Structure 1
Amino acid sequence: MAGNNDVTDLVERARKGDPRAVARLISHVEDGSPLLRAVMAALTPYAGNAYVVGLTGSPGVGKSTTTSALVTALRAQGKRVGVLAVDPSSPFSGGALLGDRVRMQEHATDRDVYIRSMASRGHLGGLSAATPQAVRVLDAAGCDVVLIETVGVGQSEVEIAATADTAVVLLAPGMGDGIQAAKAGILEIGDLFVVNKADRDGADATARELGHMLALGEARGPGDWRPPIVKTVAATGQGIEEFVEALEKHQSWLNEHGKLAERRRHRASVEIEGIALAALRARIGDLRGDRRLSTLAERVVGRELDPYSAADELVAGISD
């Protein structure tokens, strides 16, 4: 059985840019490997340097094409880039995974670009439950920028705000995205808005409508970040330079105002909470068929106990 020595070797190889080592480490994350704790402990000294950008938006706005164009621009700056493309389908059926890979094929042979498709496996929020740990793998492996492309599930996409340093919301003309953005609460989580497919009719109107909606939103004081709106045609690279400049400005603003450290503390707290809840769920799952749980259920049905008190007793029993 693989042990801690194997983990140390994998981490060393990943830090040297070995894509197979990075793939193995992310597989440990996705599979919930018994070595996962050792992997995370080994990665911790090397993590915390990557700039994490989340790209979200409704299906059809061109997230994968935009991500690919962004990778090209970042590589032109000499940056190592990691991409996590979260696939909504079963991890066995392929689904959108093939489309993501085809659109990013031009980067497949670049050793300074690592692209990984991850299945959401039913996890809500547009992300995989393993996303934060997978980001840490790419961060520790020396990626300067990690791009997270979400599945495009609409109203649950707000989770990206808790996972990225900068949250980018993509829209496209003619898709009713302005209304959808307001309904989904995406206006509140976007640090940067991109109107892609800007060569189509209605692009200027979409950008204008979005600008009006942002102006009507929460009041911002002097010095607060005001999300810019960038128009792009990702398929041709038009507007991508302006997109990168807007990302750099937001990163600078985050650093200057101490917001980057604040966001990362919040991200760590969300991650810790998620791991703790998963452990508790697993322990509760182990109780199914256990006499303690069935006894509590009988008492609730018999009106001796309310379900909240029963749950408190169950949690207290698990914590002992």
Structure 2
Amino acid sequence: MSLLDRFFQKDGVALSKVISYIENQEPGYQKLLGRLYPHAGKAYKIGITGPPGAGKSTIVDKITSELAEGGKGLGIIAVDPTSPFTGGALLGDRIRMQDISLLPNVFIRSMATRGSTGGLAQTTSEVTLVLDAFGKEYILIETVGVGQAELDVADLCDTTVVVLVPEFGDSVQVMKAGLMEIGDIFVVNKSDRLGAGRLLSELEMVLEIRGHQDGWGIPVVATEAVNNVGTEALLEKIIQHQSYISSHPVYEKHRKNQIRTELSRIVSRQFQELMFTRLLPSPRLESLIEEIYRGEKDPYSSGREVFSRIEVRDN
């Protein structure tokens, strides 16, 4: 029986192997993704983002437990910092989410950022597709928590939950980080701490001034996730947003934007592969760097020279 046959028969080991194949970008991985694509498109994707130490993993743990109790199939992608020694994920999924990893129909995968920016690993989108094609009904994506850069989670997910804590500061800091623009739901976690009430009130005030987003009134939920306080209310808001966006015309626009972003990313990656394998292989690149370093060339004209080697065909 082939790997794909086992995959479509819901074999968890086959799922892990397919994900590893995609993550490592083994030869033919794009063709494999093309075969999986027609089987995807049904999963609902939830992004959990926010600054480091906000308690995102705990919130994912609680939400997953609630959904799993309802019989839902879940895939969790925990994007971790890259280990400087191995290049792999620095934090293991079993370390952070040992309890939910034992639940039926729950699959957890830690992914290393491997130098990518934006809070997501380079192949997060592809792994999301794999979990979708496998039949997971919900996919939760927890970002690495690198602050201002982790905004691209909104491009990938249907519902984006921004998790904050009183230590993060006031609503001005939230706006500076650009998080106000991406959140469908805001969470003030560790709400028993000093300053939580003020942050909660400020967020509600700013969101009220901002008004509804495509008809959706962005809620603010107070939680103490470690004590399982407020997490049920948070899940209710997520389900409400799922119901809202699934029946609203904005969903078509959102899905098309997701496709546009994904297509642009795929083309950019293929162009980079072309650039550094054929147009500018490593020996030529090093030689060019030396010439620029010695002042014999400048990077701007050198860039144009490399680009001029591309033959553009008009159809």
**TM-score, normalized by length of structure 1?**
0.86
2:47 and 2:160 in contact (8 A); partners too: yes
Aligned amino acid, residue 118 of structure 2? G
1:58 alignment partner in structure 2: 51
Alpha-carbon distance, 1:278 to partner: 1.0
Aligned amino acid, residue 208 of structure 2? A
Alpha-carbon distance, 1:209 to partner: 1.2
Aligned amino acid, residue 10 of structure 2? G
Aligned amino acid, residue 42 of structure 2? N
Of 76, 80, 91, the residue aligned with 1:97 is 91
1:146 and 2:139 aligned: yes
* Structural mapping, 1:268-279, within 5 Å: 268-279=259-270
* Structural mapping, 1:274-293, within 5 Å: 274-286=265-277, 287-288=279-280, 289=283
Give the whole-Å Cα distance in 2 for the aligned partners of 1:285 and 1:319.
24
Alpha-carbon distance, 1:315 to partner: 3.5
Give the whole-Å Cα distance in 2 for the aligned partners of 1:25 and 1:312.
35
1:250 and 2:241 aligned: yes
1:17 and 1:112 in contact (8 A); partners too: no
Give the whole-Å Cα distance in 1 for the aligned partners of 2:81 and 2:24.
17
User: 1:40-84 deviations in whole A, cap 9, x for unaligned?
Assistant: 122122100100000000001101111001100111211011000
Give the whole-Å Cα distance in 1 for the aligned partners of 2:177 and 2:284.
41
Give the whole-Å Cα distance in 1 for the aligned partners of 2:140 and 2:28.
26
User: 1:147-203 deviations in whole A, cap 9, x for unaligned?
Assistant: 000000001111111010111100012331633321111101100101111222222
Give the whole-Å Cα distance in 2 for the aligned partners of 1:24 and 1:308.
39
Q: List runs of 5+ in structure 1 lacking aligned partners.
A: 1-5
* Structural mapping, 1:15-164, within 5 Å: 15-90=8-83, 92=86, 96-98=90-92, 100-164=93-157
1:57 and 1:152 in contact (8 A); partners too: yes
Pair 269,95 (structure 1): closer, same or farther in 2 beyond 3 Å: closer
Give the whole-Å Cα distance in 1 for the aligned partners of 2:182 and 2:222.
19
1:314 alignment partner in structure 2: 309
1:175 and 2:189 aligned: no
Q: Match of 1:169, SS?
A: strand
1:236 and 2:227 aligned: yes
Alpha-carbon distance, 1:281 to partner: 0.9
Give the whole-Å Cα distance in 1 for the aligned partners of 2:71 and 2:303.
56
Aligned amino acid, residue 197 of structure 2? D
Pair 96,226 (structure 1): closer, same or farther in 2 beyond 3 Å: farther
Alpha-carbon distance, 1:136 to partner: 0.6
1:58 and 1:171 in contact (8 A); partners too: yes
1:19 and 1:111 in contact (8 A); partners too: no
Pair 220,109 (structure 1): closer, same or farther in 2 beyond 3 Å: closer
1:17 and 1:111 in contact (8 A); partners too: no
Aligned amino acid, residue 230 of structure 1? V
Aligned amino acid, residue 258 of structure 2? R
Pair 315,224 (structure 1): closer, same or farther in 2 beyond 3 Å: farther
Give the whole-Å Cα distance in 2 for the aligned partners of 1:119 and 1:257.
35
Give the whole-Å Cα distance in 1 for the aligned partners of 2:39 and 2:312.
38
* Structural mapping, 1:208-223, within 5 Å: 208-217=201-210, 219-220=211-212
User: 1:216-250 deviations in whole A, cap 9, x for unaligned?
Assistant: 43x547x6112101111111211111111101111
Give the whole-Å Cα distance in 2 for the aligned partners of 1:177 and 1:120.
29
Aligned amino acid, residue 103 of structure 1? R
Q: Match of 2:190, SS?
A: coil
Pair 234,12 (structure 1): closer, same or farther in 2 beyond 3 Å: farther
User: 1:286-318 deviations in whole A, cap 9, x for unaligned?
Assistant: 223459x96xx89x9679x95675465234379
**TM-score, normalized by length of structure 2?**
0.87
